[in-house]
Amino acid sequence: MKYVGGCTQCKTCEKVCPLNGIKVTDKPEFNLCYGCSNCAYFCPAGAIKPNLEYFDVLLAEGAGAAQSKFKRQYYVTFLKNITKECDCESDPKGIIAKDKGVLLSNDIVAIDKAAYDVITSKGTDDVFLKHNKKTGLEHVKAAEKMGMGKSAYILVEG
């Protein structure tokens, strides 16, 4: 992330950083950052911008690049052992939601949106917002905007 000017010292960036890696004095100082983009998303003054692009857009672009290599795709999502950080990490930081089953779809955007909805349904806390300080839908919106699929779905239980 980079400071582009215009900080009002509201400290919103400090509050939304999941790593507590920003301190505001005269301007935001980035002490610890893995590029989640929360500070840029939530800065009311627009004083912070990503170095390249928002994290969730880059995530969607990466998925789109992988998806483009196959003629046909079918997606399987196991809603088990849902962890605070990506399960691809060596230390994903513990389980934050109960197991919810398995989802199947031929639409990558629909299955991600359905997974989010199933995990956060029935009056439970939005565990993504609680633990990561954002909802987890930004990459879904970015992927849909890129034409990778549609977020609308019909959940059929079997």
Looking at the structure, tell me whether residues 10 and 77 fall in a common domain: no
Looking at the structure, tell me whether residues 75 and 141 fall in a common domain: yes
What is the domain extent for residue 138? 55-145
Looking at the structure, tell me whether residues 101 and 124 fall in a common domain: yes
- Residue-wise pLDDT for 100-131, tens only, equals 999 999 999 999 999 999 988 866 678 888 88
Examine residue 152 and state whether it is found in any structural domain, yes or no: no
- Residue-wise pLDDT for 18-29, tens only, equals 889 999 999 999
Looking at the structure, tell me whether residues 82 and 37 fall in a common domain: no
Name all contacts of 64-69 with Cβ < 8 Å and 24+ positions apart: 64/143, 64/146, 64/148, 67/108, 67/148
